[in-house]
């Protein structure tokens, strides 16, 4: 016994080259091709999402983010900085401020601008 099964539609999104679209239209004439004319780009710094991210960014959160990114424990970072691990913990929780000199050391270790930690 044969059963007729309808093939589910395939949806492809993104910037598809024009020659590929032409090929699909000629090879599969029954295919529906929807082109989006919305070419308006938005500057990311003007979006609410970005403004919320920047508003919540603090030197403490930045330090923790970079430490996690590089897979370092507080003790390992403290060893690289030549300070006790409690100082790193204090800087991450906000109980200890990050001095400009410490920010420069952190910038060198994480290979980023020291201003991120001020």
* CATH code for position 69: 1.10.260.40
User: Tell me, what's the pLDDT at 8?
Assistant: 76
Furthest CA-CA distance within the chain: 79
- Could you tell me if residue 19 is inside a domain? no
pLDDT band at 103 (very low <50, low <70, confident <90, very high): very high
Of the ranges 21-30, 61-70, 109-118, which one carries the lowest mean pLDDT score? Answer: 21-30
- Could you tell me if residue 36 is inside a domain? no
User: Tell me, what's the pLDDT at 22?
Assistant: 86
Residues spanned by the domain of 105: 52-117
- Could you tell me if residue 17 is inside a domain? no
* 89 close to 78: Cβ distance less than 8 angstroms: no
- Could you tell me if residue 95 is inside a domain? yes
For the segment 38-59, the average pLDDT, to the nearest whole number, is 84
Residues whose CB falls within 8 Å of the CB of residue 23, separated by 6 or more in sequence, listed in order:
none
d(CA 98, CA 59): 8
- Could you tell me if residue 41 is inside a domain? no
User: Tell me, what's the pLDDT at 1?
Assistant: 62
Domain count across the chain: 1
Asked whether the predicted pLDDT for residue 39 surpasses 80, the reply is no
- Could you tell me if residue 3 is inside a domain? no
pTM: 0.59
- Could you tell me if residue 90 is inside a domain? yes
pLDDT digits (tens, 9 = 90+) for 54-98: 888 899 999 999 999 999 999 999 999 999 999 999 999 999 999
């Amino acid at each position: 016994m044969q059963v007729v099964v309808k093939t589910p539609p395939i949806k492809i999104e993104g910037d598809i080259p024009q020659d590929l679209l032409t090929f699909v239209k000629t090879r599969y004439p029954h295919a529906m091709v929807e082109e989006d004319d919305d070419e308006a780009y938005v500057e990311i710094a003007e979006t609410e999402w970005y403004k919320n991210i920047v508003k919540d960014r603090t030197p403490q959160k930045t330090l923790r983010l970079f430490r996690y990114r590089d897979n370092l424990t507080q003790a390992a970072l403290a060893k690289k900085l030549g300070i006790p691990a409690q100082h790193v913990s204090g800087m991450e929780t906000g109980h200890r401020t990050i001095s400009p000199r410490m920010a420069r050391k952190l910038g060198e270790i994480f290979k980023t601008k020291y201003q991120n930690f001020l």
